[in-house]
């Protein structure tokens, strides 16, 4: 176990470009809203943009997906001269949302040797939700031949004493600012500063202390053999893709070559779970192409036939002109997302339909009210339960929680060479 698993990276930032057009939201957002991506494409136009070197998931499965991937890799090569490289660096980031909230984080790289996304992982860095293996190959197709990576990955530290990021924030005015601009599409404002080497050493010592097994168990009331140092916040499948590509590389080269490869690391942003701006929100479900009344009836039946000693859970359901409040007593799983997701997996397999994971109550209501659809609102999970739940019970049901609205997700900005 190498506790020093969040490290400086050779970070690339474009120069001489319109940064508002360069930076776009993560590819897994607005997957049921093509008008969002159409508007982004129109606004970017011919300007250099992260849009041209990423693959929004709304385009996955189309006939031209392979052509899009090839074009992404070619464009990455063409964009090479745009970047200024900051060797062995970390960047302190402040993201100001349209609400005025400020999220603080540090961009660096995680060591994939210390990350395992399997359900029973005991690694220092772990997934927080179930990884859908079918979602990895399309991402591998983009990454395996790509010369660059861009992160929308966000990892979390459970640091209630605020010993890692907050001391860096207090000194930002003495650092060199490397970007400062408005983000598109209600993304707010972002500003980044280079962190001096001596401050990197200090923050490293701070997070290493959180990797003490006895301290972890005392803080969380657990009896785990291995501490959970960093938990996935966003970008679970992107980090799983990086891990998969690295494991594939290890099969093709010597152990020494693999350990020395830049593919061993993945660029990401570290955020404190206890950052004042960080709020856990539910990720809701919309099912397309289904009989809504049958689905509701079968859901009630499923819960009644599979009771467990869990607290009651409430859902709000939209279909047609109907708005239904549904409370389940003694639900099968401890989290509402688990109860609903396990049911939907079985139901859709047997009855057909397509599920999407949606942020925003208004979007769920609008989509759910369309003919043949149903939208289901879930309650949010308290963020204080995250590390204990993952350490004690393993990964959560997929899409259990979200950190903020879609427009508050991490935007692509920094890059790093992976070849």
Chain centre distance of CA 148:
19
Mean pLDDT of 40-55: 97
Which of 139-143, 150-154, 191-195 has the lowest average pLDDT?
139-143
Contacts for 198-204 with beta carbons within 8 Å, 24 or more apart?
199/168, 199/171, 200/8, 200/90, 202/167, 203/90, 203/106, 203/164, 203/165, 203/167, 203/168, 204/4, 204/6, 204/7
Give me the percent of the chain exceeding a pLDDT of 90: 79
- In tens, the pLDDT along 259-296 reads 999 999 999 999 999 999 998 888 999 999 999 999 99
For 128, how many CA atoms within 13 A lie in the half-sphere containing its CB?
27
Dist. CA 417–CA 138, nearest whole Å: 20
Mean pLDDT of 343-352: 96
Strands 230-234 and 154-157: antiparallel
Mean pLDDT of 69-94: 96
- In tens, the pLDDT along 213-247 reads 999 999 888 898 999 999 999 998 899 999 999 99
Dist. CA 85–CA 416, nearest whole Å: 9
Return the higher-pLDDT residue of 311 and 123: 123
For residue 81, the 8-state DSSP code is G
pLDDT at 211: 94
Give me the percent of the chain exceeding a pLDDT of 70: 100
| Rounded (10°) angle between helices 136-143 and 65-79 | 40
Return the higher-pLDDT residue of 1 and 364: 364
Mean pLDDT of 138-156: 91
Mean pLDDT of 78-97: 98
pLDDT at 119: 84
pLDDT at 214: 94
Is the confidence at residue 1, as pLDDT, over 80? no
pLDDT at 37: 97
Q: Decide: 256 and 320 in contact? Cβ < 8 Å.
A: no
Mean pLDDT of 380-406: 84
pLDDT at 114: 97
**Predicted model pTM:** 0.84
Dist. CA 30–CA 411, nearest whole Å: 13
pLDDT at 206: 97
Run of H or E including 136: helix 136-143
Q: Which residues contact 265 (CB under 8 A, 6 or more apart)?
A: 7, 9, 109, 110, 111, 112, 416
| Rounded (10°) angle between helices 236-252 and 136-143 | 60
Dist. CA 227–CA 124, nearest whole Å: 6
Please report which confidence band the pLDDT of residue 372 belongs to, taking 50, 70 and 90 as the band edges: very high
Q: Decide: 128 and 397 in contact? Cβ < 8 Å.
A: no
Is the confidence at residue 313, as pLDDT, over 80? yes
């Amino acid at each position: 176990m190498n506790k020093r698993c969040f490290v400086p990276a050779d970070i690339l930032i474009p120069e001489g470009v319109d940064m508002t057009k360069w930076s776009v939201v993560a590819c897994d957002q607005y997957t049921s809203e093509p008008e969002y991506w159409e508007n982004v494409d129109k606004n970017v136009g011919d300007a250099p943009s992260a849009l041209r070197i990423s693959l929004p998931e709304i385009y996955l499965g189309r006939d031209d997906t392979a052509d899009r991937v090839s074009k992404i890799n070619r464009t990455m090569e063409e964009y090479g001269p745009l970047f200024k490289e900051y060797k062995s660096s970390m960047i302190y980031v402040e993201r100001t949302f349209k609400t005025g909230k400020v999220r603080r984080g540090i961009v660096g790289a995680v060591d994939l040797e210390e990350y395992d996304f399997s359900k029973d992982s005991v690694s220092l860095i772990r997934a927080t939700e179930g990884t859908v293996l079918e979602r990895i190959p399309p991402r591998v197709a983009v990454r395996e031949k790509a010369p660059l990576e861009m992160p929308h990955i966000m990892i979390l530290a459970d640091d209630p004493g605020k010993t890692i990021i907050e001391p860096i924030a207090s000194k930002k005015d003495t650092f060199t600012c490397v970007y400062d601009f408005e983000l598109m599409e209600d993304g707010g404002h972002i500003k980044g500063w280079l962190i001096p080497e001596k401050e990197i050493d200090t923050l490293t010592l701070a997070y290493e202390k959180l990797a003490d097994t006895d301290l972890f168990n005392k803080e969380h009331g657990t009896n785990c053999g291995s501490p959970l140092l960093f938990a996935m916040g966003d970008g679970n499948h992107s980090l799983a893709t990086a891990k998969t590509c690295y494991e594939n590389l290890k099969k093709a080269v010597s152990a020494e070559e693999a350990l020395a490869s830049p593919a061993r690391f993945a660029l990401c942003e570290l955020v404190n779970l206890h950052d004042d701006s960080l709020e856990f929100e539910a990720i809701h479900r919309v099912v397309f192409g289904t009989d809504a009344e049958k689905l509701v009836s079968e859901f009630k039946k499923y819960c009644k036939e599979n009771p467990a000693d869990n607290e009651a859970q409430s859902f709000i359901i939209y279909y047609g002109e109907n708005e239904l409040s549904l409370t389940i007593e003694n639900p099968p799983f401890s989290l509402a997302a688990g109860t609903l997701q396990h049911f939907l997996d079985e139901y859709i397999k047997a009855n057909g339909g397509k599920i999407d994971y949606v942020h925003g109550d208004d979007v769920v209501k609008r989509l759910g009210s369309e003919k043949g659809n149903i939208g289901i609102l879930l309650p949010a999970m308290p963020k204080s339960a995250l590390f204990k739940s993952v350490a004690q019970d393993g990964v959560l049901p997929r899409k259990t929680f979200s950190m903020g609205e879609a427009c508050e997700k991490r935007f692509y900005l920094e890059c790093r060479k992976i070849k």
